[in-house]
Structure 1
Amino acid sequence: MYITLKKSLLLLLSVVLLGSCKDVKKEEKTKNSATVYFGGDIITMEGDSPQYAEAVVVNEGKITFVGASEEAMRVAGEGHKMIDLEGKTLLPGFLDPHSHFINSLGMSSQANCSPSPVGEGNDVAGIVKALTDLKKEKNIPDGQLIMGYGYDDSVMPDGKLLNRDDLDKAFPNNPVMVLHVSLHGAVLNSKAMEEYGVSDKTETPEGGVIVRKPGTNEPYGLIMETAFLPIFSKLPKPSEAELLAQLKDGQMIYAEAGVTTAHEGLSHFEDVEILQKGADKNAFFIDVVSYPFITELDTLLQKYNANDFGKYDNRFKLGGIKITIDGSPQGRTALFTTPYLTGGPGGEKDWVGEPTFSQDEVNQMLKSIYDKGLQSTFHANGDGAIDMCIKAHEFASGDNPTKERRTVIIHSQFVRNDQLDKYVEYKLIPSLYTEHTFFFADAHIKNRGLEQASSISPMKTAIEKGLKPTNHTDFNVVPIDQMMVVWSAVNRISRAGEVIGANERVTPYQALQAITTNAAYQYFEEDSKGSLAEGKLADLVILDSNPLKVDPLKIKDIKVLETIKEGKTIFKR
């Protein structure tokens, strides 16, 4: 009887506990998850002039209210969480209009050979030191490739450029490759040249550059553009496991800058596969948009359908297809309609640069993209390259060139006024690069003259014509630093402290639009990102100061305090 009574009591207790647990779970499920942000400058980025709100309500990853504090409390309901900004500034999360996200994955294993203020590669000695430090830090054995990034030949003192002999002397037992700041080429030492099949018998391909040792046919300095592509394709690839492990570090570089949507600006098929595997493993905490290179299109479509483009899969999506038309103006490989003042990178006379592909090839490439209903992004710096983009658009679009396709001409550095008029007519989007006014202005003045250099990335003119320009870093050409992007568009000041094109300066608000609302439009995501509005994703960034209120010269000193993706903090300083 005792046993029977004990069993009955235990059964009764189990029923009570089970019911209690169910009640707790029910209570947890119905617990209010709304958060109210208040107490600071909340800039909504709605409209073409600054609009402020007292409060923003976030619930289940989306914005549910933007407006007065009293109404926000009512909308949030009982038990909501309160976050006092304490005078800080809240903005929509920044969208990166153009960079190379895939490069962020391997940066920790490469030497920073950039000149100041990014690195210490101001001369050959500084570059060698950065490479030597990496070799020691990573304990790189003899025979293994040593890589650096950020080499900028345009700032080397007294015209002393990095060459093969410098690298041979410092690293006799390792292949060494130092990537040019444009990411369009590199300087190799003798062991690297041997490993990648470059010799005095290597011919310079059309659209390529191989700097030779004076008086010989021996490759000596920069190898760029189409001449570099075979080398790039042979670079050692990290294992899938290594790359997936690097995804977190790569995303954190962006998150620390307040970026909640990142751009992968020229993806090879292997890159797409890695990113897709990352998505399959739920490895993304920011959104990443990939633009595979045109030469990969046929291979890509064997696995991915055209209908797969433009749709996120665990925060990764294929955005469109990339076509590269020319190189970089600082590397003297951009295509112009008039000659460089300094000749070509290999000493060529009357040098205007060369296109990566012929006009006929570009026409057919773009037509294949348009025929599949896909978005296209061009890489075009010089006005000659931009002419090719416009002609290709006219060819590929048939009898409907004014249809809204949101074709993006990335960089558009030396775009002419008449070309901007065509952008307006054909609804083309310029993704500008105002940081060149700081990092590369001296090179542009030397290569192109002060007048043309002063008109690079003409953001104010583009806005006045009715365009929605975006503005980018081209990371890892320069660091992901969105406040530096804004600062450069507002001030246009060079390394030397000179103003480069004062008439193209824009307001801080216009500069912010280029990395919020305009960038969302570029991605066809204006309904879900780019501003603080009801129904949009709760992608937010908190800054320590208001870019619209500080001294314009101090905008670059503003710090990102917190980055929030769909209501969840992904970075906090």
Structure 2
Amino acid sequence: MADPADTIYVGGDIVTMDRAAPAVQALAVRGGRITAVGDRADVVAAQQGPATEIVDLGGATLLPGFVDPHSHYINALSVANQVNVFAPPAGPGADVPAIVAALRGFRDSHPIPPGDMLVAYGYDDTMMPGGRTLSKDDLDADFPDMPVLVGHVSMHGAVLNSAALRTFGISAETQTPPGGVIVRKEGSNDPDGLVMETAFLPIFAAMPKPTPAQEVEWSRAGQMLYAAAGITTAHEGASHAADIALMQRAAAGGASLIDVVAYPFILDLDEILSANPPETFGRYVDRVKLGGVKVTLDGSPQGRTAYFTTPYLLEGPDGQRNWCGELPFTQDTVNGWFKQVYDLGLPLDIHANGDAAIDVALTAHEFAAAEDLGRDRLTVMVHSQFVRRDQLARYVEYRIIPSFFTEHTFYFGDAHVQLRGKEQADFLSPMRAAIDLGLRPTNHTDFVVTPLDQMFLVWTAVNRISRGGEVIGADQRVTPWEALESITINAAAQYREGDRKGSLEAGKLADLVVLDANPLTVDPMAIKDIAVLETIKEGETVYKA
């Protein structure tokens, strides 16, 4: 035997995510690639050599490593130094006192140098009992001098205390920019603490970054969060120029445990292109590649900043009546962005939650792609949460990939029923409708909007049960196989990497995940309880429980 396998996996369920051969008994790996899949006796006979390791899965399940269609990897670098204030069960933030207590506890157990900022993530105002939301006054009582920033669960804003507002130069005299939100105290111009959308962008860009000495360490720690969830390809969903440079420096310094695909933010694109010309996109260097360009058109439905054609059933975030959200940019501006990206020949990821934002995106596509509306450009409508059926039909015509966010059915489904009504909430992230039209949707966590937990993500797509126990759109449930496709083979195709990732086939990368149960055979309600035992990147274990 000229080239025996390094490793052969046997003794468990091997789910290939290849519809032609969905389950096999053995899988062989050599040099970081899969060399054979099939019957145990055949693979062992053909691939085993004197040094081949036979790995007995012991009844565990082997799948392709999960491919993350959309999250915010750059935030993972700092999460270890931030406070989790997600609402239960993902965190302790059940109400305002609980959030403040979590901040106090972190401050008391993690010495913070004078002048440094205390940062939290996951604040969900829709879960606050009685509508009693967090304000700067709540934070000032315990943190009169230390700047505190509590990130909104949408990642499109934050609540700042007075010291943080001063740090970022926001006061009663600050004008609210178009498409932005600066909530004011009733009867005055004094900021109440919540800053969102375009008003938040300069704050987000100025957030503390790791020092050069910390970049590799923080990057490896961030990638381990992904690896622990079984993810072998991570997504960075709105990269500023400094983020791109940091990721490339850290990768060159040896930080890359898994692959990372980054999408430069449109407002930083010219600066990024000066160091990364278009022809460098789509190629990994030290396991980091620039995948395309990101355009953000609206906010979040739970934050009441998503852009709709009909009003919310409740007032806007700053008390606006008949509030539909708003477009931060003109249609002409968006048209120009799409044309710039398409003319460069680069893929485009579009953040659009509300149906009006999706209308804007489709109009811009029609403008920029007029010569051939249906050419495969790898255009992805990220979230597409409140897409209409007529818009889905145009996705098919224009070859637009929907990347859904079914975790909203659990985390925010009850809020969406209140904000948008039951009928519209039931068509939230409509994976069933998309698949039935012939689309190949992906599905994502949008981390840190929701935790990195791919089995919980699959559970939400299969069950669509809200935090309150209500079913959100029973007719949009998908099968466990289809839910897994959305984070394996479909997600690999979204990056034009279906020839090397997303299924267990000979010749593809040995990117693997081992689970303690098979999502295809357990009770659908138990999928969320499945644990990741091991994550393998190109034949090397990067995480083991």
1:416 and 2:388 matched: yes
User: Does the CA contact (< 8 Å) of 1:324 and 1:356 recur in 2?
Assistant: no
What is the match of residue 319 of structure 2? 347
What is the match of residue 46 of structure 2? 75
User: Does the CA contact (< 8 Å) of 2:5 and 2:28 recur in 1?
Assistant: no
Query: What fraction of aligned residue pairs are identical, expressed as a percent?
Result: 56
What is the match of residue 511 of structure 1? 483
User: Does the CA contact (< 8 Å) of 1:291 and 1:318 recur in 2?
Assistant: yes
The residue identity in structure 1 corresponding to 2:37 is: V
1:435 and 2:381 matched: no
Alignment of 1:259-408 (within 5 A): 259-408=231-380
User: Does the CA contact (< 8 Å) of 2:305 and 2:326 recur in 1?
Assistant: yes
Provide, for residues 130-162 of structure 1, a one-character-per-residue CA deviation record: whole Å limited to 9, x for no partner: 111111121124433111111100010011100
User: Does the CA contact (< 8 Å) of 1:244 and 1:274 recur in 2?
Assistant: no
What is the match of residue 9 of structure 2? 37
**Structure 1 residue 170: deviation in Å?**
1.3
Tell me, in whole angstroms, the C-alpha distance in 1 between the residues paired with 2:29 and 2:149.
48
**Structure 1 residue 481: deviation in Å?**
0.3
Tell me, in whole angstroms, the C-alpha distance in 2 between the residues paired with 1:142 and 1:375.
44
What is the match of residue 14 of structure 1? none
1:51 and 2:34 matched: no
Paired residue for 1:62, among 29, 33, 44?
33
Tell me, in whole angstroms, the C-alpha distance in 1 between the residues paired with 2:254 and 2:107.
33
**Structure 1 residue 78: deviation in Å?**
2.2
Question: Which 10-residue stretch deviates more, 140-149 or 468-477?
Answer: 140-149
What is the match of residue 3 of structure 1? none
1:127 and 2:99 matched: yes
What is the match of residue 6 of structure 1? none
Q: What TM-score results when the alignment is normalised by the length of structure 2?
A: 0.98
The residue identity in structure 2 corresponding to 1:315 is: R
* Corresponding residue SS for 1:362: helix
Provide, for residues 405-459 of structure 1, a one-character-per-residue CA deviation record: whole Å limited to 9, x for no partner: 1200000000000000000000000000000000001111111011111110000
Tell me, in whole angstroms, the C-alpha distance in 2 between the residues paired with 1:346 and 1:118.
27
What is the match of residue 570 of structure 1? 542
1:249 and 2:221 matched: yes
The residue identity in structure 1 corresponding to 2:385 is: Q
Question: Which 10-residue stretch deviates more, 221-230 or 152-161?
Answer: 221-230
Paired residue for 2:159, among 180, 183, 187?
187
Tell me, in whole angstroms, the C-alpha distance in 1 between the residues paired with 2:204 and 2:63.
39
Paired residue for 2:175, among 203, 207, 226?
203
Paired residue for 1:223, among 176, 186, 195?
195
Q: What TM-score results when the alignment is normalised by the length of structure 1?
A: 0.93
What is the match of residue 435 of structure 2? 463
Provide, for residues 456-487 of structure 1, a one-character-per-residue CA deviation record: whole Å limited to 9, x for no partner: 00000000000000000000111110000100
Tell me, in whole angstroms, the C-alpha distance in 1 between the residues paired with 2:498 and 2:80.
34
Tell me, in whole angstroms, the C-alpha distance in 2 between the residues paired with 1:404 and 1:383.
23
* Corresponding residue SS for 1:564: strand
User: Does the CA contact (< 8 Å) of 2:513 and 2:535 recur in 1?
Assistant: yes
Tell me, in whole angstroms, the C-alpha distance in 2 between the residues paired with 1:143 and 1:36.
54
Tell me, in whole angstroms, the C-alpha distance in 2 between the residues paired with 1:237 and 1:59.
39
Tell me, in whole angstroms, the C-alpha distance in 1 between the residues paired with 2:492 and 2:480.
18
Q: For the structure 1 residues 162 and 177, does the alpha-carbon distance in structure 2 shift closer, same or farther, using more than 3 Å as the test?
A: same
Provide, for residues 52-102 of structure 1, a one-character-per-residue CA deviation record: whole Å limited to 9, x for no partner: 101111111000111111210122142221011111111000000000000
The residue identity in structure 2 corresponding to 1:205 is: P
**Structure 1 segments unaligned to the other structure (5+ residues):** 1-29
Provide, for residues 343-393 of structure 1, a one-character-per-residue CA deviation record: whole Å limited to 9, x for no partner: 210000111001132111111001000101100000000000001111111
User: Does the CA contact (< 8 Å) of 1:50 and 1:509 recur in 2?
Assistant: no
* Corresponding residue SS for 1:240: coil
Provide, for residues 177-198 of structure 1, a one-character-per-residue CA deviation record: whole Å limited to 9, x for no partner: 1010001001111111111100
Tell me, in whole angstroms, the C-alpha distance in 2 between the residues paired with 1:88 and 1:501.
32
Tell me, in whole angstroms, the C-alpha distance in 2 between the residues paired with 1:163 and 1:142.
23
Question: Which 10-residue stretch deviates more, 229-238 or 75-84?
Answer: 229-238
Paired residue for 1:549, among 521, 526, 530?
521
User: Does the CA contact (< 8 Å) of 2:5 and 2:35 recur in 1?
Assistant: no
The residue identity in structure 2 corresponding to 1:387 is: D
The residue identity in structure 1 corresponding to 2:32 is: G
Alignment of 1:60-209 (within 5 A): 60-79=31-50, 80-209=52-181
**Structure 2 segments unaligned to the other structure (5+ residues):** none
User: Does the CA contact (< 8 Å) of 1:260 and 1:565 recur in 2?
Assistant: yes
Tell me, in whole angstroms, the C-alpha distance in 2 between the residues paired with 1:129 and 1:103.
23
User: Does the CA contact (< 8 Å) of 2:185 and 2:191 recur in 1?
Assistant: yes
* Corresponding residue SS for 1:244: helix
**Structure 1 residue 50: deviation in Å?**
7.3
**Structure 1 residue 33: deviation in Å?**
4.9
Tell me, in whole angstroms, the C-alpha distance in 2 between the residues paired with 1:176 and 1:209.
19
Tell me, in whole angstroms, the C-alpha distance in 2 between the residues paired with 1:506 and 1:282.
40
Tell me, in whole angstroms, the C-alpha distance in 1 between the residues paired with 2:295 and 2:478.
29
User: Does the CA contact (< 8 Å) of 1:291 and 1:320 recur in 2?
Assistant: yes
The residue identity in structure 1 corresponding to 2:328 is: T
The residue identity in structure 2 corresponding to 1:69 is: R
Tell me, in whole angstroms, the C-alpha distance in 2 between the residues paired with 1:234 and 1:86.
49
Q: For the structure 1 residues 31 and 458, does the alpha-carbon distance in structure 2 shift closer, same or farther, using more than 3 Å as the test?
A: closer
* Count of residues in correspondence between the two structures: 543
* Corresponding residue SS for 1:414: coil
Tell me, in whole angstroms, the C-alpha distance in 2 between the residues paired with 1:102 and 1:493.
30
Larger radius of gyration: 1
* Corresponding residue SS for 2:214: helix
* Corresponding residue SS for 2:12: strand
Tell me, in whole angstroms, the C-alpha distance in 2 between the residues paired with 1:286 and 1:143.
35
User: Does the CA contact (< 8 Å) of 1:326 and 1:335 recur in 2?
Assistant: yes
Question: Which 10-residue stretch deviates more, 418-427 or 234-243?
Answer: 234-243
Provide, for residues 24-70 of structure 1, a one-character-per-residue CA deviation record: whole Å limited to 9, x for no partner: xxxxxx995521111111111012x8711011111110001111112
**Structure 1 residue 301: deviation in Å?**
1.1
The residue identity in structure 2 corresponding to 1:281 is: G
Q: For the structure 1 residues 96 and 177, does the alpha-carbon distance in structure 2 shift closer, same or farther, using more than 3 Å as the test?
A: same
